Amino acid sequence: MDITAYLRRLGLESAPPSVDHLRALHAAHVERVPYEALEIWLDRPTTLDPAESAARILRGRGGYCYHLNGAMSALLAALGYEVTRHVGGVQNHGAEPGVTGNHLVLTVRLPSSDGPDEWLVDAGLGDALHEPLPLAEGRYRQGPFEYGLRRSEVAPGGWRFDHDPRGSFAGMDFGMEPAEMSAFETMHEHLSTSPTSGFVRVATLNRRDASGADILRGLVLTRIGDDAGSTTMESSADYFRAMEDVFGITLPAADRSLLWGKLIKAHEAWTTSASTSSTDDGLTPSTSSVSE
């Protein structure tokens, strides 16, 4: 991994491990490296290799939790941080908590005499954390979101992260046992290929900043926080301009053509489904967003 290039991608310089530098690394990562799974929609399988994920990040792309936290864990280790990977489980709203392995979590231990020495570090939660959280029970506010951190009821000795009610998921549990990247191979295959996977069903991008989050699901761009609102992309020019301006991704022409064709097909299928169900639930395409 080219550490200098990685730091340049984040707009930072190397520094000795510290809470302030860890915060800066985390904030820069979620602001500059988008949460996305577009390689699935572009028919390009990915691996769990942190070096491969980092190389893709250096080419101006992002990834989802295994890629983002995998690469970030390697970066942190190279910078001298004591970082540990853990198996976690993210739950959608209304789902039962569980450590399913659909999420890779990081903790970092820092020598400290005047503050917390262990931190939850997670650049792979999409619209959630902007900065790391001290690994201690409490309520934490970051921008427009308020989070909870408490002991897990499903992972003995582990932790539970409760997302803000406006977030895209309900929460996440993780155990404290160290994990290798191989622990996520089966779930990575499922998330990348299964017709029931949210990544396969909906093309999604997320980016977090200090004042909120941007989410592009299908053709609907939503802002939570400052300047909140939603806009449907009416053309390929609008869509790829948003992808570049908001999420920092510029795709070559062949990728744009392939992706746009799939997006239009998926949006038409969703519109038909939403119109059919509007009699029963009151939803119409103009009042609901592209959903899983």
168-177 per-position pLDDT tens digit: 999 999 999 9
User: Could you state, in order of their start, the residue ranges of all structural domains in the chain?
Assistant: 197-276
Whether the per-residue pLDDT at 60 is higher than 60: the answer is yes
Which residues are CB-neighbours of 61 under 8 A, at least 6 positions away?
Answer: 34, 36, 38, 39, 249
* 192-214 per-position pLDDT tens digit: 999 999 999 999 999 999 999 99
Strands (E), 26-144: 35-36, 82-91, 103-109, 118-121, 133-134, 138-142
Residue 152's pLDDT is 98
- Sheet with 204-209: strands ordered across: 35-36, 204-209, 212-217, 220-225, 229-232
Instruction: Name residues whose C-beta falls within 8 Å of residue 12's C-beta, 6 or more positions apart in sequence.
Output: 24, 25, 28
Read off the pLDDT of each residue in 250-256 and give the average, rounded to a whole number: 97
pLDDT(290) > 60: no
- pTM of the predicted protein model: 0.91
Whole-angstrom distance, CA of residue 168 vs CA of residue 159? 19
Q: Name the CA dihedral angle for 88, 153, 115, 118, rounded to a multiple of 10 degrees.
A: -30
The pLDDT confidence band at residue 115, using thresholds 50, 70 and 90, is: low
Quickly name the fold that domain 197-276 has: Arylamine N-acetyltransferase fold (3.30.2140)
Sign of CA dihedral 231, 211, 198, 48: positive
SS3 271: helix
If phi over 0 gives left and psi between -120 and 50 gives alpha, with beta otherwise, what is residue 229?
left
Model confidence band, residue 272 (pLDDT cutoffs 50, 70, 90): confident
Please identify which residue in the block is written with the tokens 């996305």: 36
